[in-house]
Amino acid sequence: GAGVSQTPSNKVTEKGKYVELRCDPISGHTALYWYRQSLGQGPEFLIYFQGTGAADDSGLPNDRFFAVRPEGSVSTLKIQRTERGDSAVYLCASSQDSFYGYTFGSGTRLTVV
Amino acid sequence: KQEVTQIPAALSVPEGENLVLNCSFTDSAIYNLQWFRQDPGKGLTSLLLIQSSQREQTSGRLNASLDKSSGRSTLYIAASQPGDSATYLCAVKGPGNTGKLIFGQGTTLQVKP
């Protein structure tokens, strides 16, 4: 596609529920990244995919967070047993590879009530 | 551990002024540095990417400089306009095959007509 697409744009869920956030990168971009941005802060790295594999998942905060990219294009970030502290904007970005500049999506605003 | 700091956190200027935003980083071993713009409720738009071997990059009214040895970058905006009002973020990428960007907290700019 022309840009990085993230769905849904907004998600409100109850504490303890499971959520999935989707990222559709620019066609042909092999590198895909997830970041999390809290209010008034810069984005924080979560995970980086090169193709289908997670090349660096050091930013995932705990084992409730998991991400997949089974066919090397679309990625899904999965959060189990959501907590109020998970509320943030989740940003996805893609690039031709890790050495090029990034293109970010508009983000998914997750609110856990 | 790389840390990125942006000063000031907020800036308000009258239309037409030239201004400088500052970014500093603690580890000079970077691969590149990128400046982004973020409008309220939106994702990040890449403005300028400076490779570690470069000293500056220019795009229209924007000029970004990089001094790796001192751990500093500046974003110069000439003849500011109300449409420039946004949050500006800088991010550095470390060496090696890592996709991780380390972001500053951003500078929120308001240009008053």
What are B1-36's pLDDT values in tens digits? 899 999 999 999 999 999 999 999 999 999 899 999
CB spacing of A102 vs B46 below 8 angstroms: yes
The pLDDT value recorded for residue B95 is 75
CB spacing of A106 vs B42 below 8 angstroms: yes
- Candidates A104, A109, A110: best to mutate against B (most CBs of B within 10 A) is A104
- A·B CB contacts under 8 A: 68
Amino acid identity, position B68: K
What are B35-44's pLDDT values in tens digits? 999 998 888 9
CB spacing of A43 vs B89 below 8 angstroms: yes
Mean pLDDT of B39-67: 93
Question: What percent of chain A is modeled with pLDDT above 90?
Answer: 82
| pLDDT exceeds 60 at position A35 | yes
The CA distance from B74 to B91, in Å, is 12
Which residues have C-beta within 8 Å of that of residue B26, sequence separation ≥ 6?
A: B1, B2, B3, B4, B71
| pLDDT exceeds 80 at position A100 | no
CB contact, 8 Å: B71 with chain A?
no
| pLDDT exceeds 90 at position A66 | yes
Answer yes or no: are the C-beta atoms of B52 and B42 closer than 8 Å. no
Instruction: List the structure tokens of B52.
Output: 């570690």
- Candidates B50, B100, B107, B108: best to mutate against A (most CBs of A within 10 A) is B100
Mean pLDDT of A2-25: 96
The pLDDT value recorded for residue A1 is 53
Residue B58: HSE in the Cβ half-sphere, 13 Å Cα cutoff:
3
Q: Band of the pLDDT at B97, cuts 50, 70, 90? A: low
- Alpha-helical regions (H) of chain A: none
Which residues have C-beta within 8 Å of that of residue A38, sequence separation ≥ 6?
A: A44, A88, A89
| pLDDT exceeds 90 at position B100 | no
CB spacing of A104 vs B89 below 8 angstroms: no
Mean pLDDT of A3-16: 96
Residue linked to tokens 């090169």: A50
The pLDDT value recorded for residue A99 is 64
| pLDDT exceeds 80 at position A26 | yes
CB spacing of A58 vs B100 below 8 angstroms: yes
- Candidates A34, A35, A95, A102: best to mutate against B (most CBs of B within 10 A) is A102
Which residues have C-beta within 8 Å of that of residue B3, sequence separation ≥ 6?
A: B25, B26, B102
| pLDDT exceeds 70 at position A105 | yes
| pLDDT exceeds 80 at position A98 | no
